[in-house]
Structures are given as structure tokens and as C-alpha cells.
């Protein structure tokens, strides 16, 4: 079985804890890597900085990406990942509290696979994270092969 790694890019400790809880509660990922800012996410994906020794051929099954991040914002992360041949097909779900139509349109324009607004209610948030995990980690099939 493929090692299903999730890259969670989230700077809010409460949202991070809720997302981790939901994914772990339902055994949806073997490993969850957390990046707390956009630069750390890029470093992980491209094997730079603290991740310089990481095998970059091992890509996450899905990236859950917040938009409002320190250092490098989520839209810039999305853009850089889509511009790179190795990372352009990794599924990216924008998971954000932003309700701005412009953020949603830019996310899709830059290649997001999905745009999900974080529910404010605790139970709804847990259920949303469970459903995201179920779809992207169990049902969705991923291929990184290039022709």
C-alpha cells in the first residue's frame, strides 16, 4: 500500500489541531507533515532548508493549503508548486477561512483542485476534515507520471 502523506500548511494552531484530530481519528493518513508558513511548505516540497535531506520523489497524496500564511502566502505557494514539473500534479485543496470571491477565483486560476471554506463550528470542522480526507486519501487516485 502506498504511504499516504498529507502536507498540512496551516499557521493557526487551533485549526492545525482540529485538522490533525479529524484525520487521525478516522485513520485517513499514514503520516501528516505540518508546515506552519508558506516558506516551510516550499522547503518541504523542494527539499530545501530543514528538509534538504528529504527524498523529493516522495510526494504527498494531498496538500491542504491555507491562504493567509506568514512569509509566503498560500497563493504564492500554489503558483510555485504548479510551475514546477515535479509538483504540478500534486492535488492541492485550499482550506481557508477566506470568504473572498477573489481568493477562490485566484486559487482556481492558479491550479487548485478544490477550495473549501473552514466551518466555524467545531463539529462541522471535524466533519469537513474527515470528508476531505476520505475523498482525497481514499477515493481519489493520484498519478505523478509525466509523458
Which helix (H) or strand (E) segment holds residue 21: the answer is helix 13-25
Q: pLDDT tens for residues 88-102? A: 999 999 988 888 899
β-strands 92-96, 5-9: how paired?
A: unpaired
CATH class, 5-139 region: alpha beta
Task: Compute the radius of gyration of the chain from its Cα atoms.
Answer: 14
Q: pLDDT tens for residues 20-39? A: 888 787 776 678 899 999 99
Amino acid at each position: 500500500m502506498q504511504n499516504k502523506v498529507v502536507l498540512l500548511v496551516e499557521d493557526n494552531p487551533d485549526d492545525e489541531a482540529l485538522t490533525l484530530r479529524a484525520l487521525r481519528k478516522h485513520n485517513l493518513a499514514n503520516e501528516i507533515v505540518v508546515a506552519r508558513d508558506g516558506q516551510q511548505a516550499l522547503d518541504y516540497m523542494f527539499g530545501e532548508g530543514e528538509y534538504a535531506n528529504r527524498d523529493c520523489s516522495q510526494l504527498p497524496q494531498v496538500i491542504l493549503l491555507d491562504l493567509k500564511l506568514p512569509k509566503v502566502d498560500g497563493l504564492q505557494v500554489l503558483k510555485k508548486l504548479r510551475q514546477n514539473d515535479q509538483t504540478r500534479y500534486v492535488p492541492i485543496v485550499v482550506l481557508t477561512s477566506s470568504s473572498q470571491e477573489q481568493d477562490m477565483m485566484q486559487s482556481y486560476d492558479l491550479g487548485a483542485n478544490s477550495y473549501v471554506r473552514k466551518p466555524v463550528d467545531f463539529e462541522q470542522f471535524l466533519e469537513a476534515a474527515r470528508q476531505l480526507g476520505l475523498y482525497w486519501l481514499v477515493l481519489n487516485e493520484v498519478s505523478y507520471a509525466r509523458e
